[in-house]
Structure 1
Amino acid sequence: MQPSEQLKEHCGEHWQSATEHAFCAELAEGSLPLDKMKRYLAQDYTFIDNFVRLAASAIHYAPSLPDRLPLAHFLGNIAGPENTYFQRSFDMLAVVESERVSPELLKPTSDFQALMLKAAKSGEYGNMVAVLCVAEWVYLSWAEPVVEAVDSLPFYFGEWITLHSGEYFASVVEHLRGQLDNAFNTADEAQQQTITAYFNEAVLLEKQFFDACYQ
């Protein structure tokens, strides 16, 4: 079994809670209250800055050019189509300027921000790809099964699903899993424990983030 799969199974309860969350289910059904979606988008948009820092650090520390290029391409998608989606959704949902620019952060938001910066500053590629892998794999896991619902949804629900599903996004997750597998397999026991801790904390924070936005 791949290390990434073992890591996922190790935190199975939290993984299931994050990927089968009521927030995600209601979003896919189009029944999620708009105040919850607005709160979620405002919080989630704050991740882009530190996500870019983390991804850029991972690109720098990646072992080779073939390892770097898929991450670099994906980083362009975050800065392009995903950033544009946020702006269009903010406009459509009438999210006020203060919430777009500097919302009061929920605790899971600030905790996840801190985890991303900690991973970026660690100088350890395995820590970086552990957090990146969780961030994207969780979203693929909940979005892919509901992609057929997209056509019946307003764009601020539907496009969020399509951004996190499909052949290209699945290839990004597969690349991150491969990078995590390689980093884990070549790490010593102490570093494997550290990678595991990063992975587990990221999964727990994904679950807590959905909880906080849904409540």
Structure 2
Amino acid sequence: MADAPFSYSAYQSENSNARFTDWLAASGEPYWTAACTHPFTVAIGDDTMAEEAYARYLVQDYVFITDLASVLGYLIAMAPTMAAKSRLSAFLALLTSEENDYFLRSFEALGVPRETYQNAAQTETTQAFAGLMLASAQNTYAEGLACLLCAEWCYLSWGEREALKPRPTRFYLSEWIDLHAGPGFSGFVNWIREEMDQVGEALDAKSQDKVARTFNRMCELEVAFFDDAWKGPNQS
């Protein structure tokens, strides 16, 4: 990963009221905006999503969940306070219950056989995505938190935007929006931002740069993940 395009201190000098997480989003460009505004996310809210594209997406997201659960486990172990451990534990519980039920019902509606989603292999993009998150979470709390922030903040950004539209008629689209636009999810993402602000502010410049480079790479992989679903893996 290349160095961050500018330091946090330089960003602060030009944006006096900016948060550490504002700097991370700026450091994630152009991928940050591309991920949050990807045509795939717009098609969810417009109800123009092709079933085969959404099935590709859900299968890869489902095989990724096991790794995400592991990432949360590492973050829970390294979290510096009981309050942080509690927040992360609650999200892990949601991920393995309510969200898992959504996947199973959606696969049935989309006609995806059980053996397909249970035995699916991760694509190259999904492997890179999961690998970065796992390596970062095992390295430092700050780097792992930056990965989680990118993934969840991106989904909140497009989820809240698409929630302003009339809900899609297909439940698996409308419920996916609701899962990423409600007060519970927004509250969790806002907590991650506050936690990242606090943790990031305390880092030295070299560590801040590493966190920003990790966030940038996560943004790039978010775009690639949507691209794979939208167009099919390894297609232009």
TM-score for the superposition, normalised by structure 2? 0.87
Structure having the higher helix fraction is: 1
Give the SS at the match of 2:96: helix
CA distance in 2, matches of 1:126, 1:134: 12
User: Which residue does 1:127 correspond to in 2?
Assistant: 143
User: Which residue does 2:210 correspond to in 1?
Assistant: 194
User: Which residue does 2:161 correspond to in 1?
Assistant: 145
Q: Is the 8 A contact 1:149 1:158 kept in 2?
A: no
Q: CA deviation at 1:99?
A: 2.4
For structure 1, list consecutive stretches of 5 or more residues without a partner in the other structure: none
What is the Cα-based RMSD across aligned positions, in Å? 1.2
Query: 1:56 is matched with which residue: 73, 76, 93?
Result: 73
Structure 1 residue runs of 4 or more that deviate by more than 6 Å after TM superposition: none
Matched, 1:169 2:182: no
Larger Rg: 2
User: Which residue does 1:14 correspond to in 2?
Assistant: 31
Query: 1:74 is matched with which residue: 60, 69, 91?
Result: 91
User: Which residue does 2:15 correspond to in 1?
Assistant: none
For structure 2, list consecutive stretches of 5 or more residues without a partner in the other structure: 1-17, 232-236
Q: CA deviation at 1:12?
A: 2.6
Q: CA deviation at 1:9?
A: 1.3
Matched, 1:110 2:127: yes
CA distance in 1, matches of 2:209, 2:34: 23
CA distance in 1, matches of 2:33, 2:56: 23
| Aligned residue pair count | 214
Write the letter of the residue equivalent to 1:115: L
Identity within the alignment, %:
31
CA distance in 1, matches of 2:155, 2:166: 15
Query: 1:185 is matched with which residue: 197, 201, 207?
Result: 201
TM-score for the superposition, normalised by structure 1? 0.95
